[in-house]
Structure 1
Amino acid sequence: MSSLAVKILDKNTLRNWLLAEPRSKSLAIIDVRDDDHIGGHIVGSRHHPSSSFGQNLPYLHEELRPFSTVVFHCALSQQRGPSAANMYARYAEMIGSAPTTQSVYVLRGGFTEWQQEFGSDGRLTEAYDEKLWKLMC
């Protein structure tokens, strides 16, 4: 049985991965924000709310098996993002199918820091609502 260690990922590293040519098809970004999943999201991210994350974990695990890199985040990546990443890693270990070549990360600063730097860059952020973020921050 292999162990998936959850690591921290800097937003600039994720930016570089997203802008790499050709763009990696082995990268999955999982956004676990709940009702706060508004005002934009990282290009290509998949929304799996933390409120239903546990019950959807078997499906998500199967969905993510082909990816060599999985990045989790929430608004700040202080609770929901790290919790989801750890839950994913523990589940993979529990069922004995942790991919040996898969890396699991939590995006430092979450979407809040991401949008501050990359919100207006359409190559990196989709459906960005600058007015909403100005109200929230």
Structure 2
Amino acid sequence: MSDITLADLSYITREDLSKTLLESDSAPALPSNLAIVDVRDSDHIGGHIRGSTWVPSSELDYKTPELVRTLKDKDVVVFHCVLSQQRGPSAALRYLREKQRLDAESETVSKGVVKEGGEEKEEGDNQKEKDEKSKGEKKTQKVLVLEGGFVKWQEKYGPDKKLTEAWQKDIWEPGY
């Protein structure tokens, strides 16, 4: 069982996230080291953060393992929902726990590596393999939750087409 809890989650402000998006050399695409996961369900209408991936919270049970594998090369993964009070943090927690589980499984499998022909490898068997192993060491991935969710994001950046796609003012104008 995982020891990761909601108290372990870290947050990112809308200002810090927007700065990262605007300073990217890959704009209008997301920076290659960043993923933004929007876990809103039917409340996804009315706009979304540019380049975000929509994974409704109702699908997280079966999509989380796939997400962990797909996003493994990202340095930063940001989760959010409409307010980032329930679904966003829960999705980030689920992602972290699944990542921890899969990492533990892969460590167990890699300990029993066998050569062609069925011979066990010795520790000092091959320098090239050692070098490749050190290159493949796991980097730490930051998993964050967007403070205030999409509501706070769109209050400041909704009309900005460099940061928000498909924003509909009439949906958000009355307030959330």
Could you say which residue in structure 2 is the equivalent of 1:20? Answer: 23
Question: 1:129 matched to which residue of 2?
Answer: 168
Partners of 2:55 and 2:157 lie apart in 1 by: 22
Greater gyration radius: 2
TM value normalised by structure 1: 0.92
Shift of 1:20: 0.6
- What root-mean-square deviation, in Å, do the aligned CA atoms of Structure 1 and Structure 2 show? 1.8
| Aligned counterpart, 2:79 | 72
| 1:45 and 2:49 matched | no
Q: CA deviation at 1:63?
A: 1.0
- Work out the CA distance in 1 between the residues paired with 2:58 and 2:24: 35
> Is it true that 1:9 corresponds to 2:12 in the alignment?
yes
Which deviates more, 99-108 or 26-35? 99-108
Distance 1:55 1:133 in 2: 31
Question: Which stretch of the first structure deviates more once superposed, 54-63 or 80-89?
Answer: 54-63
Which residue of 1 is the match for residue 145 of structure 2?
106
Separation in structure 2 between the aligned mates of residue 54 and residue 132 of structure 1, nearest angstrom: 29
Displacement of 1:135 in angstroms is: 3.7
Structure number with the higher strand fraction is 1
Structure 1 residue 94: Cα displacement: 1.2
- C-alpha deviations, 1:68-122, integer Å up to 9, x for none? 0000000000000000000000011112269532100000000000000000000
- Once residues 119 and 45 of structure 1 are traced to their aligned partners in structure 2, the CA distance between those partners, rounded to angstroms, is 14
2:42 to 35, 41, 61: 35
CA distance in 1, matches of 2:92, 2:9: 7
Q: Which amino acid aligns with 2:17?
A: L
1:10·1:108 contact (CA, 8 Å) conserved in 2? Answer: yes
Q: Which runs of at least 4 in structure 1 moved beyond 4 Å after TM superposition?
A: none
The structure richer in helix per residue is 2
Mapped to 2, the partners of 1:114 and 1:21 lie a distance apart of: 18
- TM-score, structure 2 as length reference: 0.72
Comparing 95-104 with 126-135, greater Cα deviation is found at 95-104
Q: What number of residue pairs does the alignment pair up?
A: 135
SS of structure 1 residue aligned to 2:160: coil
CA distance in 2 between partners of 1:136 and 1:31 (Å): 20
Instruction: Provide structure 1 residue ranges, at least 5 long, that are not aligned to the other structure.
Output: none
Checking the alignment, whether the CA contact within 8 Å between 1:71 and 1:105 is kept in structure 2 is: yes
